[in-house]
Amino acid sequence: MTVLLEMNAIQKAFNGVPALSGASVEIERGEVHALIGQNGAGKSTMIKVLTGVYRRDDGKITFNGHDSVLTNPREAQAAGIATIYQELTLVPLRSVTENVMMGYEPKRFGAFIDWPAAHARTREILTRFGIDIDVKMPLGSYSTAIQQLVAIARAVSLDAKLVIMDEPTSSLDSSEVKTLFGVVRSLREAGVSVLYVSHFLDELFEICDRVTTMRDGKTVGCARLAETTKLDLIAGMLGRDTSEITEAGMTEFGGGTAKKGDILLEAKDVATGPRLTKFNMTLHRGEIVGLGGLLGAGRTEAARALFGVDPLRRGTISLKGAPAPSQPANAITAGLGYLTEDRKAEGIIPDMSVRENMTLALLPRMTKGGQIDRARERKIVQHYIDALGIKTADMEQPIRELSGGNQQKVLLARWLAIEPDILILDEPTRGVDVGAKREIQLIIRNFVDRGYSVVLISSEFEELVEGADRIVVLNEGRCITELTNPGVTEHKLVQALAQTSEASA
């Protein structure tokens, strides 16, 4: 096979802090190539250098047989590079057609958009993905999973030579993942290359041909997936020998070890709308309760109800024996924290610094006479930067410049800093690499070991099985069963979900 892309000895620094230090990657034509590494390893920077978002400081890029100096993403598209970023860059209030065809709309008389042709072309593109929706409807009226597939469909429709997929399955269920993999395989058969960035290592072995591993801004390895193991990949990302990882028990994270105290939080027959119709749960002091279920089961709706975001239509929620607050601000005062699923839309404030993002919930406690105790604020921020291993140039760096995993750590620190009695975590490790995921899991367990409690939502069954003391299983907005650790396995959880799905069919 011939080489389509070669990035060699790429250098890039921000404010004097190296993000890439001689990083390299080579992709062949018609190859699905994985790019992995911990958050902060340089994967996103590498992609942004390739697509013209950032200008490289040094190094050479050759694409499709020519030296490449792309100065913006539009030039990259014109050259044949299509990118689907982890955080969707769509316009929810615009129609599906407008999102898919944006910038490439068919015209009549040279100036007017041919909407019938645009709708027809969009339906044709989406059919390749098995998507049958009204393309005239606003994109935001559809689920996150559909929006993700629309973003992929748009990229593929541009007849690219290289399609870059950054965490493409993060919002997809198993059937949608199969559909995506089918498209990836068809691209490979058509001679189109795919650069596939994912933290789900099992996916790489199923769909990718080769893998490049990055660590601390450098390329540390490249191998064929058929000739390597998951343990080898983890060792490469962490910079350890495989024996070190095995001996250190890096794959262990035990649930079912909690010494339960009094009931802190209790939900009885809670309903907030069609997606949450009967939710029941108890949470004791010093335990982790997981919410398990498939996409759309009602887990996020349950979290929003517990935090007072969505009003109750039926049922009751009690906190420490009294009615729970019905507003988020009051919930925070009462001792609850809520890390939302959507880091970009509901979590970070991009143009604010790491310090400002981290202390948002804590500001009322640090303010006296209208003045913020800046010395105390900086001391707290530095403590959590050190404790959580947040990689940042300094606490005044805009949070938008951090990797996704480090942004997630800042948001986690925001809630840990107020020391809530109960922390509700909705997908706390989504889009986070293996090493950072392990760190976050240990932070959560240490938090609970100090007598606090956690409600944990995760689409990864392994994370629930290993991390939760009990798992409340939801299906179509209703609690179906509860599993208790120790003794819960992924098989038992899948079996429970399968039985509930069959019962509702």
Residue that has been written with the tokens 């993002």 in this structure: 357
Please state, in angstroms and rounded to a whole number, the distance separating the CA atoms of residues 330 and 118.
48
pLDDT mean over 471-482: 90
Indicate whether 250 pLDDT > 60. Answer: no
Write the pLDDT tens digit of every residue in 179-216. Answer: 888 888 988 998 999 999 987 788 899 999 999 999 98
Indicate whether 147 pLDDT > 60. Answer: yes
- Structure confidence at residue 45 (pLDDT): 92
pLDDT band at 133 (very low <50, low <70, confident <90, very high): very high
Closest CA to 168 of 192, 195, 187, 135: 195
pLDDT mean over 26-49: 91
Torsion of CA 228, 233, 239, 243, to 10 degrees: -60
Please state, in angstroms and rounded to a whole number, the distance separating the CA atoms of residues 233 and 217.
16
pLDDT band at 420 (very low <50, low <70, confident <90, very high): very high
Indicate whether 154 pLDDT > 50. Answer: yes
Indicate whether 407 pLDDT > 70. Answer: yes
pLDDT mean over 57-83: 90
Asked if 403 and 354 touch (Cβ cutoff 8 Å), the reply is no
Question: Strand ranges (DSSP E) for 72-132?
Answer: 81-84, 107-108, 112-113
pLDDT mean over 140-152: 80
pLDDT band at 363 (very low <50, low <70, confident <90, very high): confident
Write the pLDDT tens digit of every residue in 261-291. Answer: 789 999 999 999 888 999 999 999 999 999 9
Indicate whether 257 pLDDT > 90. Answer: no
Residue that has been written with the tokens 């001679």 in this structure: 191
Identity of the residue numbered 360: L
Indicate whether 14 pLDDT > 90. Answer: no
Query: What is the set of domains in the chain, with CATH numbers?
Result: 3-92+160-248 (3.40.50.300), 254-335+421-505 (3.40.50.300), 348-419 (no CATH)
pLDDT band at 245 (very low <50, low <70, confident <90, very high): very low
- Structure confidence at residue 258 (pLDDT): 52
- Structure confidence at residue 251 (pLDDT): 38
Please state, in angstroms and rounded to a whole number, the distance separating the CA atoms of residues 429 and 458.
8
